A and B are shown apart, each in its own frame.
Chain A
Amino acid sequence: MKNSQQGIWIGAKDLNRDEAFILEAQNEIQNPSLIDQLGNKQVAEGLESNRRDFLKYLGFGVGAATLAGCDIPVKRAIPYVIKPDEIVPGVATYYASTYMSGGDYCPVLVKTREGRPIKIEGNALSSITNGGTSARAQAHVLSLYDTNRYKKPQIISEQETKHVSWLDFDSAIKSVLKSSLATRIVTNTIMSPTAKKVIAEFTAAHPNTKVVTYDPVSSAAILEANAQSFGDRTIPDYRFDNANVIVSFNADFLGTWISPIEYANQYASKRKIKGVKNVKMSRHIQVESHMSMTGSNADNRILVKPSEQGVAIAYLYEQITGTNVSASSRLNSKAKAALSKVASQLKKSAGSSLVVSASNNVNEQVLVNAINTTLGNYGHTISFVHASNQRQGSEKEMTSLLAELKGGKVDTLIFMECNPLYNSSVAAEMTKAVEKVKNRIGLSYSKDETSSICNYIAPLHHGLESWGDVEAKRGIYSLIQPTISPLFDTRQGEESLLVWAGSGAYVAGFEQKYMNYLKNNWKASYFATQDKYLGFQSFWDSVLHDGVYNTVGYSTATDFRADLSAAARGISSPSSSELEVQFYEPVTVGNGQFGDNPWLQEMPDPVTRYTWGNFIAVPVNFDGEKSFKGLNNLVDGELVDVTVGDKTYRLPAIQQFGIMAGTVAIALGYGRSSGGFASKGIGKDVNGSLGSSNGMTQYFSDSVSVSNSKGKEDEYSSVQYHHTMGVTAIETKTGKTINADEAALAPGYGNVFQGFQGSLTERTVIRHTDLDHLEEAVDHLQHERAHHQKLNGHTLYPFGQYSDEKYSQGHHWGLHVDLNACIGCGACTIACMAENNVPVVGKSKVSIHQEMAWLRIDRYFYGDVENPNTVYQPLMCQHCDNAPCENVCPVNATNHSSEGLNQMAYNRCVGTRYCANNCPYKVRRYNWSDYTTADIFPANQVEVNGEETPYGADNLTRMVLNPDVTVRSRGVIEKCSFCVQRIQEGKLTAKSEQRRLQDEDVKTACQTSCPTGAITFGDRNNKKGELYEKFHSPLNYIVLEEVNVQSSVQYTMKVNNRDKTLDA
């Protein structure tokens, strides 16, 4: 491992050890002047007051105060007229349902309070996700309360928008359809069998209708390749839990590819480590150009240029099968050497290996199929029995639709909950071509690029207001049930189609018409597939209760057959261009589908930790010295002009480790021209620059150039260097390495304390090793921990003396994070925001370090600077039993409970921020502004994205708030509470049932959201509990144990299974 760094690092700034970095650390909690904050001279001038104003306000104040003191407003308590049996106000009710957006899928339990959904949990009964969720599934509940929603059906003609009743709307549409000669329905992947039946009915009623399916990010090549190879146009069932060697060609299967929750769950089961001896874990090799979230979790990464993906696959094919397809001459030598070694490893693990690729080239996918067939993986790690329905889109259908549109052959276009004018392969051309279509009907949820050109808008229910079913994989079903009455005058898309089809099966008399239709379909189609229930109603009730229903799958796949030499000829050929660009789907907003969700916008990108927008990731050049410069000497946050083909985008640059030299990467899904105020104008839309080959979208381009720096981005909203713990820098004066945080605290005395107990330069934030050195590393860890603990005992008040007395009975809460299972997906961060009413602050506030997230996922690199390994560390309040924050609070607003919780009493806090300053983990957050308009003075409100009210300040969005958690106002500190509301609820359940508390009673929001089970919460005193077992693993360590804060959170040492022979 040449270029190997001793420690861990965060980014180029950290490695460069600029002294400027100290300055940044100094401003860890930035407090710009009021004028800077407002950024508006007028407002600033308006704030200057004179004596007259003073007297005015005084007079008003005294008057208002006198009035306010006199009367206490009468509050109303309004009971039900007829109370539903299942609802007890004050007690949460959970409904099993399913989160589905195109091909995104997650069976969920929806927590409702007083009839409104406030939180989403995974459904543990699902055999696909096993209770895991993703950030998108967690954020689903917020989109229900989106202010950008369509609220009424509308007909738009000649610049005039008419809101009409559904009755009028339907008759208008019916007459349109009657006269329509060619109707086309455009949709994303439909996984619902009943919805497909609805469409069939519609097509039968209107025979000149065709359905066109596309996916926002296409996987059509896999479908076509499987159709060619096996006669089964589908995505097979990948089993990462059966694979010992995983090779992924640019497939971000933990983040975005096909079914990430499922794959993450399977993947992690092979990555968790118990014990020290005879440890086995899978090896994951990622062949890619930029660092994807999945790539960052890989043991080894093989870097190729985007255009080299094809030959890389072909080369592996060559090595596995021995057939020469003349790939070797076209691939870079480093990758070649590595791949030949990978091939031998794959052969050794034949039958228990898995090769996947995200390539959208059919021939390349055929080669991947050939590799897996040769390795005998079919039937073991890949099967068709429970093949996935999660991607069904076809670009060919879109291309032919475009041709029809251009020819003016289409009268009526129905857009079914999709946005092809933004995220389809033909978006730009289609935008022009749709003008020829007379009737454009949008079954739309909220305003977007597509719905804004429609002349009929049929507003849709949210998923949490709808009925439906999903067959995500063959034979594995789940149901969608409404958890709230429709908020607005909306209707399900399926229902609209049934009405317009004049369906006889659609009985208007029923209160919930589509439920009736759905039930009938289930009675006809699935009731007979089981023999457990004799009556349909009991079968239906059980499926509705469980949310999932599994029956046998089926496979129509034949044996593998392919013209492999033709396939090898059809792969994309490497470009000779100096610079290439890789486009990718971000984990957060997808290809724009989730852009309207502020939670996802504010969630940092896992790898670069950039929020609110896209950026250009540029490779870092290492000159062998201590200088790490980005492409064109760019540093983080500098704006550049990126020219792809004929389009130029101005984007901030981020120096990204682990990118193939001569490659840059840009995320899709931003730069929406029409959308809600969370998405509109955020970032740049690069969908228009996607390449194409044989009618398939190619997510890279070789015609790209990057300018030099065009200045700094004003609101550079990366949280990369916020809230750092122990990053180092070189002091100019002495040339010594010092701790940046410490230097910021005591300027000029940075290294006085070096070597002493509590020295901050060699901080133990991350512990990592590789599998080969596990035993030594654990020995070393134990030794070092013992040393720290010994030194920690040398104080006037050794912790051990009082801890026994204090925590030996009752509960003593603790949390464990398995760094080997954590993939950095961010589901926990969104779950935390939802559970604890954490506000969204917006881009400008993030740029000045004021983000509010209680739980952040720190990303560190280690190892080879050119191709590093990554470790993700979820960091929340560590609930130190010897907490430094508690001692410095002048009003005792933060103090310790007998159960080991670091308590925060908001109503006691006066906002000195001493605690945040004194926290070694930097997990305390200060409410700089009034994010929820709990405060009445408009001057204290924060403007987000140019809008007048902040996110979450309007009454619709406020419906998502958890009523059991206080909404914090301006001027108080907040932080992770270990979900104390859940602790108290769990304790109460145990108490009322007169039994001991069990692990199941209390689970934190981050824990339940995690797709890989990386987080465990529990009572350290419960010797039979899961946490007790995990806390006694020899791999455990405590972050910054040497500073003797006695934290209650433990981490498992990160172990990778890196094959060093591949680095040579």
Chain B
Amino acid sequence: MARNESNMIQKISSAFILGVVLFFTASLSAQPTVESGKTLFRNYCATCHDKTMTRDATGPSLAGAEERWSEFPREDLYGWIRNSQALIASGHPRAITLFKKWNSVMTAWPNLTDEDLESIILYINDASIAKTPIAGQGNRGSGAVEKSDNTVLYYGLFTLLGILSLILMRFIGSLNEIAAAQDGTSYERKSLLQKLTSKKFISFLIFVFVLIAGYNTVTRAINLGRQQNYAPEQPIKFSHETHAGLNKIDCQYCHDGARRSKHSLIPSTNTCMNCHKAITVGSKYGTQEISKIYASIGYDPNTSKYIENYEKMSDEDIKTIFKKWFATNYIQDKGQEAFIRKGEEAITGQWENMVTSLTNEQKKSVRGPIEWGRIHNLPDHVYFNHAQHVVVGKVECQTCHGKVEEMEVVHQFAPLSMGWCINCHRQTEVQFSNNEYYATYENYHEELAKGDRDGVTVEDIGGLECQKCHY
């Protein structure tokens, strides 16, 4: 609390400066929508094709697929996707080449429409061009919510109104001149420059500037310390999309604190091992990321055994184990020849990546706990309890965390502001009827029975009071 307070003054003043400086620099970023293509890809293609479009999986990598088919009519590509066997049977030259190369055929998807296929192609192109999202705060372009941008329209309108007012000014000037001529009085017509440098206009400008800068300062000060869309770089490129989305692992399988503690808890390494004892190579990063789990807990993937006395093992020995593992997989993947050419460089790179991810100033060894970047940070004076919301309130995880199962890199979905909390407490109904605890709210039960009341919100049982969250 105190930290916040002391920082507050600094932050408000900095917000003012920022508010002034950043006033006119509105962001102009806009993204094309590839949403339907993404969904279709996920439903139909992702089982066999690599999501990043860069690697061959069960099926070939799809980056550049459109270009590779460009010498044939578009219909051929559609047909290839809908029913590849038919195209092979028809003797299409590219179809036959591909069949020879891969020696297998793709499942037929006759129900996909041309529009669907265009969306998928659009998505494939987009995904192959798009880089991995830049880690850092407030910088996520492709968030879950995509808004159409009206900035251009506003600028247009602004300019239009400006021109209009200039015309009107001229018009009024002319009218004044005519009126003066009729009255016989002299009228000195002011030039545009005179008008723009008049006291009136300048004070008007200052007024507008103060108004807008003040508004900006206040809104920015309110938002200080809030981290919506925050997505820090994590030591392991863990994909919730793969785990929760594709493989449909229940959130609370790993975040087992959510049902019994205030914290949802980042799973301990031994929880990861429940699955990753079997799954040793990832679909996307191969051995690179999963090996970090092994390094943390002390599991030798070469022998599929836990390493004894791992805590006493020297860094050099650990390095040997994992380099061996990287090498084995490299050879499997790219062949002996490639390994001889640039294998050493690759596996050293992999090891160095592991060291950078798992160590820091305090933690010198790759052994031991993985230090994740904490995404959801509440101020110290806020008490939040997961169990209360998940078990008692039966709130879905996604309500506050967004569609995590679709996030490759998790970001903070909700603003986690007090207004946001309060609003939910106002709207959410308590699981009132089948919990004996609430039997003590006799009046509400009576009213419910009589039909005088539709439901009981969190607010009704005191959910907006200070000491429900601050103590």
Q: Which residues of A contact B (CB under 8 A)?
A: 61-62, 64-70, 72, 74-83, 88-91, 808-811, 895, 897-899, 901, 903-908, 930, 934-937, 964-970, 977, 980-981, 984, 987-988, 990-992, 994-997, 1021-1022
Contacts and interface: CB of A to CB of B under 8 A. Distances in A.
A79 B370 contact: yes
B435 A991 contact: yes
Contact of A907 (B381, B434, B441): B381
Nearest to B293: A81
A906 to B, nearest CB: 6
B387 A79 contact: no
Given A68-B11, A898-B465, A937 B268 contact: no
B373 A89 contact: no
A82 B269 contact: yes
B265 interface: yes
A936 B370 CA distance: 30
Nearest to B11: A69
B341 to A, nearest CB: 37
A985 to B, nearest CB: 9
A996 B381 contact: no
Contacts of A987: 437
A506 B350 CA distance: 47
A417 B132 CA distance: 62
B388 A898 contact: no
Interface string B431-471: 00011110111111000000000000000011001111011
Contacts of A984: 383, 385, 468, 471
A992 B380 contact: no
Contacts of A897: 462, 465-468
Interface stretch (B108-116, B244-252, B255-263, B321-329): B255-263
Nearest to B373: A74
A389 B338 CA distance: 79
A996 B435 CA distance: 9
A995 B435 CA distance: 7
B466 A77 contact: no
10 contacts: A68-B14, A70-B14, A76-B373, A79-B265, A83-B270, A88-B265, A91-B260, A905-B470, A907-B4, A907-B379
Contact of A79 (B10, B17, B369, B381): B369
Contact of A995 (B4, B434, B436, B465): B436
Contact of B467 (A69, A901, A930): A901
B440 A1021 contact: yes
B462 A61 contact: no
A947 B369 CA distance: 37
Given A899-B462, A905-B470, A906-B470, A992 B392 contact: yes
Nearest to A66: B14
A90 B257 contact: yes
Contacts of B385: 984, 988
Nearest to B311: A81
A762 to B, nearest CB: 35
Contacts of A65: 9-14, 17
Contacts of A80: 268-270, 369
B265 A996 contact: no
B175 to A, nearest CB: 50
B391 interface: yes
Contacts of B12: 65
Interface of B: 1-7, 9-15, 17-18, 137, 224-225, 227, 230, 232, 257, 260-263, 265-271, 296-297, 368-374, 377, 379-381, 383, 385, 387-388, 391-392, 434-437, 439-444, 461-462, 465-468, 470-471
A486 B86 CA distance: 73
Given A69-B17, A1022-B440, 9 more contacts: A74-B374, A82-B297, A88-B257, A90-B265, A808-B442, A937-B6, A966-B471, A994-B436, A994-B437
Closest 3 CB pairs of A and B: A969-B2, A69-B14, A934-B2
A70 B388 CA distance: 34
A977 B467 CA distance: 9
A934 B268 CA distance: 31
B265 to A, nearest CB: 6
Given A79-B265, A898-B461, A905-B470, A996 B439 contact: yes
A580 B420 CA distance: 70
A731 to B, nearest CB: 42
Contacts of B434: 994
A89 B261 CA distance: 7
A310 B243 CA distance: 82
Contact of B1 (A811, A898, A969, A994): A969
A995 to B, nearest CB: 5
A76 B262 CA distance: 17
A116 to B, nearest CB: 16
A1002 to B, nearest CB: 13
Q: Which of B13, B230, B260, B371 has the most CB of A within 10 A?
A: B13
B465 to A, nearest CB: 4
A70 B137 CA distance: 10
A206 B115 CA distance: 94
A898 B462 contact: yes
Contacts of B14: 62, 65-70
Given A77-B266, A934-B1, A809 B441 contact: yes
Most buried by A among B2, B296, B443: B2
A900 to B, nearest CB: 11
B269 A79 contact: yes
A83 B443 CA distance: 45
B137 A991 contact: no
Contacts of B230: 72
A75 B374 contact: yes
A342 to B, nearest CB: 51
A81 B466 CA distance: 37
Contacts of B232: 74
A69 B1 contact: no
Contacts of B441: 809-810
Contacts of B10: 61, 64-65, 68-69
A281 B385 CA distance: 47
Contact of B371 (A78, A88, A992): A78
A77 B234 CA distance: 11
B437 A809 contact: no
Given A82-B297, A996-B436, A76 B374 contact: yes
Contacts of A997: 437, 440
Given A66-B14, A79-B372, A964 B383 contact: yes
B383 to A, nearest CB: 7
B224 A69 contact: yes
Contacts of A811: 440
B372 A90 contact: no
Given A90-B261, A810-B441, A994-B436, A81 B268 contact: yes
A808 B257 contact: no
Contacts of A996: 436-437, 439-440
Contacts of A1022: 440
Given A61-B10, A906-B470, A991 B388 contact: yes
A324 B394 CA distance: 81
Contact of A988 (B9, B381, B387): B387
Contacts of A89: 257, 261, 263, 265
A83 B268 contact: yes
A944 to B, nearest CB: 18
Contacts of B368: 81
Contacts of A78: 369-372
Nearest to A985: B385
Contacts of A904: 466-467
A977 B441 CA distance: 23
A82 B274 CA distance: 12
Contacts of B7: 68
Contacts of A82: 268-270, 297
B40 to A, nearest CB: 35
A69 B369 CA distance: 31
B383 A808 contact: no
Contacts of B297: 81-82
B2 A79 contact: no
